[in-house]
Amino acid sequence: MKIIFATHNEGKVKEIKEIFAGLPVEVVSAEEAGIHEDPIEDGKTFEENAAKKVKFVAEKLKEKEWVLADDSGICIAALHGAPGVRSARWAGEGASGVQIAAYTLEKMKDVPEDKRSAYFQCAMVLLSPEGESFSFFGRVDGTITMEPHGEAHPKLPYDAIFIPKDQQKAFTELSPELKNLISHRGRAMQFVKEFLVQRGLAV
């Protein structure tokens, strides 16, 4: 089975391939499928943006394929749920991962340690070759650190400043196996895997 993953984010592609390891599924990024453009992500929810991505990629493919997209972000209580769906553009267009993390910490410089709760939310939309759509969700609660821990991937900027619940380390400091097990994207992906196996598509 082949799935086109509607992203140009190498960090996400790496995570998805690791999560799918062991299943007879070939994951191909949008870039590898010859699609270099991105849709306008102006949805009000993570699910709306994920749906826009799968539809955009599906329409540009020469042959009909399974297409998967995710939209995810971090919601911080002390910032009234921000940055939310604007997580990637929170510090301005073109900001680096280090800049986004620094901008977030600056916004929270006066927030005490016991008031820094946050959660990562992920919505995944899987589109069949026939145009049928399926949605899956994952969430992980945690806290925002006082300073960066380790070095985050350029496209996963919040990993350096987020410590998941029941852990003592930030996402950047966890092994890929543990992160994929407990992360918002990992949890949503588990639901996708279960769906594919139950449907007899990845056995």
CATH of the domain at 136: 3.90.950.10
Token pair 């992920």 is found at 122
| Residue 203 predicted with pLDDT over 70 | no
144: in domain: yes
The per-residue pLDDT for range 20-50, each reduced to its tens digit, is 888 899 999 999 999 999 898 899 999 999 9
Helices vs. strands in the chain: H and E counts, helices first: 5, 6
CB 188 within 8 A of CB 70: yes
Contacts of 124 (CB under 8 A, 6+ apart): 50, 68, 69, 70, 135, 136, 137, 138, 185, 188, 189, 191, 192
The per-residue pLDDT for range 54-99, each reduced to its tens digit, is 999 999 998 999 999 999 999 999 999 999 999 988 999 889 889 9
Q: How far apart are CA 156 and CA 42, in angstroms?
A: 20
Q: Structural domain tally of the chain?
A: 1
8: in domain: yes
Active-site annotation holder among 38, 71, 141, 166: 71
26: in domain: yes
Residue type, 102: A
pTM equals: 0.90
CB 152 within 8 A of CB 170: no
71: in domain: yes
Quick one: tokens of 47? 């699910």
20: in domain: yes
203: in domain: no
Which residues constitute the domain of residue 35? 2-198
Q: How far apart are CA 64 and CA 60, in angstroms?
A: 9
140: in domain: yes
How do beta strands 26-29 and 2-5 pair?
parallel
112: in domain: yes
The per-residue pLDDT for range 93-115, each reduced to its tens digit, is 889 889 999 999 999 999 999 99
Q: Is there a catalytic annotation at residue 42?
A: no
